[in-house]
Amino acid sequence: MRETTGEQVGTNVSDTALRGFVGYNMKRAFNAVQADLTRTLAPHGLRMITYSVLALVVENPRLRPSALAKALTVERANLVVYVDQLEQAGWVTRTPSSTDRRAYALQATLEGQQVYARAMAAVRDHDQRMLGALDPSDVAVVNKALATIEAQGRSL
């Protein structure tokens, strides 16, 4: 027989107050996405952040590190580490800028583009897995709402 002591045990913890905030729900859902995405990317030698960096380098030829850091809202010092990892893997190269001797631009190698294409296919499967139970029309509402919240943040 189980004693009832008035103490919370196991996972029966109530978080009703926090659930009233979209930020908390977003964090909880993102934790789930992050866990599955991390598993998805590992076999491709990528993490969430290096995948994002590679995606932007592939999509934006001759991308400047400063623009990349700004686009991903990461510190320049941290970005250097991610770019180093991608360069060491042979997926991204730093090429001198044509307009500024001190600057350089980023370019994906052919291998980098191939790794990215394979990883993107896996990420697409992951995305479908996470969204599987949702109506496409609800997904559209969610994406639009997230963009509105992001824009709201920029305006504050």
- What is the C-alpha separation between 64 and 102, in angstroms, rounded? 12
In which residue are the tokens 């001190």 written? 102
H helices of 12-109, in order, are 16-19, 22-41, 48-59, 65-71, 76-88
Binding part of the chain for a copy of itself, among 75-83, 84-92, 145-153 by CB under 8 A, reads 145-153
Kindly state whether residue 30 participates in binding a copy of itself, applying the rule CB under 8 A. Answer: yes
Among 46, 68, 79, 92, binds a copy of itself (CB under 8 A): 68
Among 42, 70, 80, 121, binds a copy of itself (CB under 8 A): 70
Cα angle value 146/151/156 (rounded, 5°): 125
Cα Dmax for the chain: 77
Binding part of the chain for a copy of itself, among 75-83, 85-93, 117-125 by CB under 8 A, reads 117-125
Among 1, 15, 77, 101, binds a copy of itself (CB under 8 A): 15
Kindly state whether residue 35 participates in binding a copy of itself, applying the rule CB under 8 A. Answer: yes
Among residues 30 and 84, whose Cβ is nearest to a copy of itself?
30
